[in-house]
Amino acid sequence: MRISKRGSFGLTLLLAISAGFMLEPAFAADAGATRHLVQTLCQNCHGMDGVSVLPGAPNLSGQQKEYLIQQLRAYRAGSRQDAQMNVVAKGLSDADIEHLADWYSSIKVSVEMPK
Ligand code: HEC
């Protein structure tokens, strides 16, 4: 069977949509709220996908969830100092931190060893 250009676009769209649904359970009820937090508070420096867009800001995609939680708490408490992150973390609740850590840690990354 020959799939027309239009048909394959539809198929691609369907796959993209179902992939989107497969992501949902991890965030369940908070998916929209978490996305909104990432969009408004983190995206400008760390990207939605955790690939840094600001020189000097680290990539976060695929990072250990526990590590992300610890760092965000440390920035919030001021025990880890960074002018930008201390401001950003100040207003985060424990639940926000948990959801943000879920977001960035659940982004799949693949690595390649040096030859
Ligand atoms: C204005 C830019 C900016 C924004 C906005 C920002 N960050 Fe950062 N972030 C940075 C920089 C720069 C660092 C490195 C700071 C340092 O050296 O400690 C950093 C570090 C971090 C780290 C530590 C990473 C590591 O490898 O130790 C985490 C986790 C983090 N940011 C999460 C977030 C989250 C979640 C948000 C949104 C709530 C956010 N950041 C918003 C600039 C930003």
- pLDDT tens for each residue of 79-99: 999 999 999 999 999 999 999
CA dist 28 and 18 (Å) reads 15
Instruction: Note whether 52 and 45 are within 8 A (CB).
Output: yes
Closest Cα to atom 8 of ligand 1? 85
Q: What percent of the chain has pLDDT over 90?
A: 73
Question: Average pLDDT over the chain, rounded to whole?
Answer: 84
Residue 22 reports pLDDT greater than 50: no
The minimum-distance atom of ligand 1 relative to the CA of 84 is: 1
Mean pLDDT of 9-26: 45
Ligand 1 proximity of 69 Cβ (cutoff 6 Å): no
Looking at residue 30, its pLDDT comes to 75
Pocket test for ligand 1, best of 84, 87, 92 (most atoms within 8 A of CB): 84
C-alpha 46 – ligand 1 centre gap (Å): 7
